[in-house]
Amino acid sequence: MAIFKQPVKKRKINNSRNLDVSNGKSKSNDDSIMTDDSSANNSLMTEDEDENIEPKIENNLPKKTKAIIPVIYFCTRTHKQIEQVIKELQRTSFNNARSCVLASREHTCIQDSNIYYPQISYKSKTELCRDLLDPRARRRNSIKLRRQIDRCNYYDNGGVKISTYGQLAKFGVPSVWDIEDIVRLGITKHSCPYYGTRLLLKTAEIVFCPYNYIIDPVIRRTMNLKLKGHVIIVDEAHNIEDQCRDAASLQLDQTNMNLAKADCEKIYKSSGNSVTYGRLARYLSDLSKWIDEKSNDIKTYDEYNRGVLSWSGTYTIASFDDFGVGLKAFEIFKKDCDTALADLAEENESDETKNSKKENIENELGDENETIENNSSKDQDPDSAITNATKTLLSSICSVFSLFYDEKYKYDYHVSLVKVMQLKKFEHKERGIMTGIGGWLNSGPEEPKDTRPVWNNVVSFLCLNPAAVFDELKSTVRNIILTSGTLSPMQSFQSELGTQFPIALEAAHVIKQDQCWVTSVSVGPSGTDLNGQFQNINTYDYQDEMGKVLLDVCTVVPHGVLCFMPSYTLMDKLYNRWQLTGLLNRLNQIKVVMCEPRRGDQLEELMAKYYAAVRGDEGGPRGALFLAVYRGKISEGLDFSDNNARAVVAVGIPFPNYKEESVKHKKDYNNKHHKNKGLLPGWEWYQIQAYRALNQALGRCIRHKNDWGAILLVDSRYEQPKNQSGLSKW
C-alpha cells in the first residue's frame, strides 16, 4: 500500500459533534484539522434525508464546514471486485454511509431495444440509449420506421424515483447498495438506474467505480466528477501505470475523423452564421491532410497488408505546423470544442425541458396532446449540435493534444501511423437510420449490397509517461491511496508516476506457512525440460509434457485447479494438441476442463458452470480445471476461495510481447530517460511487468486466513535466484 498526501494549508475549525447553540456559537471538546479547500461539495447530510437534525443547529453551523467533508472514491478494475468490496463494507459499522456505484449502461440500462427498434441489432446498450435520447436520431428513425419514436420511457422519469437516499430507504434499499439492488429497483419503479445513480452521486459519501472513471480525463469530465479536495483509493493499483498511459494516449481513425468533420460542416452550413463549426471542420480537414501526406510515404507492407511509419512527438509537432494544425491552431480548436460541447449540452437540456413541459400538459389535457407532440418535434432543429460520436472524438483530441503540446510532456510521446486494408460495406441507396457509435454508422433492416477493400489510416499518439495523467490527479485531490498485493517494488511506482509516497506498507500474508505449499517444477514426468521460452513451447515434447504435469496435478488435487498461461495463443495450442493426443479426454475424466473466453460477456455463464463443477452439482467428475491467461479476467477480481482453487499452476513467465509497439517504445523510452527522470532501465521495467502479472495470478489461490492450497511454478527458469526475487513477499 502506498499513500500520497496533498500538502495543504491547515486551519482549525470547531468540531460539530458537541455544539452549544444557545448563543449562536459552536464549541467542541476536541479540534479537527481540515483543509482550507471548500470545493468538496458533498456534506454528510441533506435536509430531506436526515430528519433528526434540528434546523436551529443546522443554521448555527459555521458555513464553511458544510462543504468540507471529503468524498471517498474507491476505484478498482472490475465491477465484480466492486461487488466484493461492497459486501465487506456492508459487514462493517460504516454500513450506513451513503454510497454510490458508477457503472456503464451495459450494467445499468433496463431498456429493451425490441420495443423501439425491433429491426435494428444494437451492439451495445450505449448505442441504444444515445439514439433514444438524441432528438435527431429519433426523428430519423421515426421517418424510417414510419411510426413515432418517443424518448426512452425510463429516462423520462429522470431517475426521480431513485434519485435520493431517502427514496432508497423508503423502498428498502440500504445506504450501501450494489448494482443489482439499483437495477432491481429501477425495473420495479419504472425509472432509469443509470441516470438515477448520477443523481445519487451528488450527495454520496463514498463512490465506487472502475478506475478509468477517475484516471481518464475524458470520462471524468463526461461524468462531471469533481475530485478537488477528495480522497481516492485505488485497489488493484498494480495496473495504474498502464491505465495512466492509456488515458494520455489516443488512436485517431481517419474514417471516424472524416465523419466528425462532415458532422461539423453540416451544422456550419445549416446554421449559416456559426464560424465555430466551420473552424472545427477545417481543423479536422487539415489534420486529415497531414495523415494523407504521411500515408503516401509508406512503401512497404506486411503479410496483413499493413504499413507502419512512426516518429517522435517533437518531430510530429514540428510537422503539424506545416499543415495548419500547430499549437496556435489547436488553442483555437480547443475553444471551439468547448463551444460545441456547450451547444450539445444546451440542446439536450432544452429537449429535456420540452419533455417536462409536455408531461405537465399531458396530465392536464389527457388524450388531446397529439397536436402538441407533432408541433414539439417540428420545433426541434436536428442539425443544431454535434452527435455524441463527434463529441467523444473532439473531447479525446482536446484531452490528449493538451498534454501532447505541453512543454513538460512533449518528449514523452511516440506517434505511429498504420495504413491497413479493410473491408467496407457500401449501400446502393442511402438509408435514413443513424445508429452505431453515437450516430455515425448507418444500419437498418436492409442487407449490404456491396463489400469492397479500402485503405484506412489510424494514427496513434502513444504516451510513454504515466505521470502525464497522474500529475493532474495528485495536484487536485486530498489523498491518493494505492493498494494491491503486487505493488512491489515500490520504487518503480514512484518513478513512473513521478510521485513520492511518504507512507508505504509491505505486509506479510495472514496465513501460516503450512497453509500454502509452493514449489517450482523444472522437468515433467518424462524428464523433459519445461523451459517456457518461445522456441520451446512450439515443440510437441514441451506441449505433451505440460499436459502430463496437469494430469498429475488434477489426479492429486481435489476440487478446483487454475492453470495460467502467458497467452491465448499458447492456451489454444496446448488445448488442440491435447485434444489430438487424447490427453484432454483423460483430463476430462478427472475434472471438467474449461478455457477462459476472449469475450467478457461469455465469462459469467462459464464461471457458473465452473463453480457448479467444483461443487459436483451435475455428477460426473468432481472438480474443474480452468485454463486461463495472465492479465485476463480470471487472474483478477474473481472469487476462487476455498475449494474453488486448491491449486494454482503458473506456466512460464508472462513477459509482455516485446514485438508490440507500446512495449518496444516504452523500453526504449526508459533506457533513454532512466537517469534524468529516475526511471528503471527498460529491461528492469520489462521484467517487473512480468512478475506483477505472475503474482496477481498466484494470488487467486489463498483468499482468507483459513484458506489453503498449492502453488506450482512450472518453468525451469524459476530455479534461478534472479527469477525467484520477483515473487511477492507474501
Q: What does the alpha-carbon distance between residue 485 and residue 322 come to, in Å, rounded to a whole number? A: 49
Show the CA angle centred on residue 718, arms to residues 716 and 721, nearest 5°.
Answer: 130
Task: Please confirm whether the linkage preceding 382 is cis (ω < 30° from 0).
Answer: no
- Determine the CATH number of domain 513-724: 3.40.50.300
Q: What is the pLDDT of residue 425?
A: 64
Is 0.75 topped by the overall pTM? Answer: yes
pLDDT, one tens digit per residue, over 489-503 is: 777 788 899 888 888
Cell reading at 616: 459436483
Residue that wins the pLDDT comparison between 667 and 367: 667
Confidence of residue 94 (pLDDT cuts 50, 70, 90): very high
Confidence of residue 247 (pLDDT cuts 50, 70, 90): very high
Q: What is the pLDDT of residue 717?
A: 93
Q: Which helix (H) or strand (E) holds 290?
A: helix 275-295
Q: Is the pLDDT of residue 115 over 80?
A: no
Q: For cell 483555437, what's the residue?
A: 332
- What is the residue extent of each domain of the chain? 8-65, 72-114+148-249+468-497, 251-364+387-463, 513-724
pLDDT, one tens digit per residue, over 365-377 is: 333 333 323 333 3
Q: What does the alpha-carbon distance between residue 450 and residue 425 come to, in Å, rounded to a whole number? A: 6
Q: Is the pLDDT of residue 21 over 70?
A: no
Q: Which of 150-164, 192-206, 248-262, 671-685 has the lowest mean pLDDT?
A: 150-164
Contacts of 492 (CB under 8 A, 6+ apart): 680, 684, 685, 688
Q: At what angle do helices 682-698 and 490-497 cross, to 10 degrees?
A: 120
- How many residues make up the chain in this entry? 730
E strands, 95-205, in order: 99-101
Q: Which of 58-72, 413-427, 702-716 has the lowest mean pLDDT?
A: 58-72
DSSP label of 461: E
pLDDT, one tens digit per residue, over 607-629 is: 999 999 999 877 667 799 999 99
Cell reading at 77: 478494475
Q: Is the pLDDT of residue 686 over 50?
A: yes
Topology of domain 72-114+148-249+468-497, per CATH?
Rossmann fold (3.40.50)
**Residue 364 φ/ψ region, left for φ over 0, alpha for ψ in the -120 to 50 degree band, beta for the rest:** alpha
Q: What does the alpha-carbon distance between residue 179 and residue 173 come to, in Å, rounded to a whole number? A: 11
